[in-house]
Amino acid sequence: MKTMLRWMVCVVFAGLCWSSSALAMNKTDKGMLTLSAPGNWVSGSTVQCSWDWGNLDGNVELSLWKGGRLVATLASCPLGENGKGSASIAVPAKLTPGAYEVRLKSAKHPELISKMAVNVAAPPAGKALPFDDGSHPQTPGRR
C-alpha cells in the first residue's frame, strides 16, 4: 500500500507563489519518507533539506528533476538517526531558472520516493556564480 500526501504554504505576491517550506510524504509497507526543503532555490547557493523516516535503514539519494528528466544527483548520504536526517545541498550554478522537482529516494527500497516542487531562480544581479571546481582561477580585473 502506498500513500502520497503533499502540503505547502504559499504566499501569492505579484502573481507568483513564494513558498517558505513544503513537505511531501511517501509511505509504503516497507517504510516512510517525508522530505522538507525550502520551496525557492537560487542557482549557486546552498539549501538545507531534511527528512523524517520510519521503518527504514541504509542510505538515501537526493536528486533534481525537470520535465521527468534527471538534471542532477544532489547528494547520497546516510538515512540519519532517530527518524530524522538532513543534508546541505549545493544548488548547481548553471541551472536554468524555473520549476523543478526534488526527489528523496531510499537506496534499499527505490520505490519509496518523496517528491516536492521547487522553484529555481537566477542569483541576484551583480552576484557572480561560483565556479564548479577550483581549476579555473578568476582573471584579475574581470568579474
pLDDT tier at 125, thresholds 50, 70, 90: confident
The answer to the question of residue 83 being in a domain is yes
Kindly state the average pLDDT of the residues 127-135. 50
The answer to the question of residue 141 being in a domain is no
Whose cell is 517504510? That residue is 31
91: closest CA among 113, 78, 73, 106? 73
pLDDT, position 9: 39
The answer to the question of residue 131 being in a domain is no
The answer to the question of residue 128 being in a domain is no
Kindly state the average pLDDT of the residues 10-23. 39
pLDDT tier at 26, thresholds 50, 70, 90: low
The answer to the question of residue 106 being in a domain is yes
Cell numbers representing residue 43 in the block: 542557482
Query: Lowest-pLDDT range, 7-11, 76-80, 118-122, 128-132?
Result: 7-11
Mean pLDDT (the chain) is 78
Kindly state the average pLDDT of the residues 123-130. 68
Q: Could you report the per-residue pLDDT of 29-62, keeping only the tens digit for each?
A: 568 999 999 999 999 999 999 999 999 999 999 9
The answer to the question of residue 117 being in a domain is yes
Range of the domain at 88: 3-121
Supply the CATH number for residue 117's domain: 2.60.40.1930
The number of folded domains in the chain is: 1
The answer to the question of residue 132 being in a domain is no
109 vs 61: CA distance, rounded Å? 11
34 vs 29: CA distance, rounded Å? 15
pLDDT tier at 137, thresholds 50, 70, 90: very low
**In the β-sheet with 113-121, what is the strand arrangement from edge to edge?**
40-42, 113-121, 98-106, 59-66, 69-78
The answer to the question of residue 138 being in a domain is no
Query: What pTM does this model have?
Result: 0.69
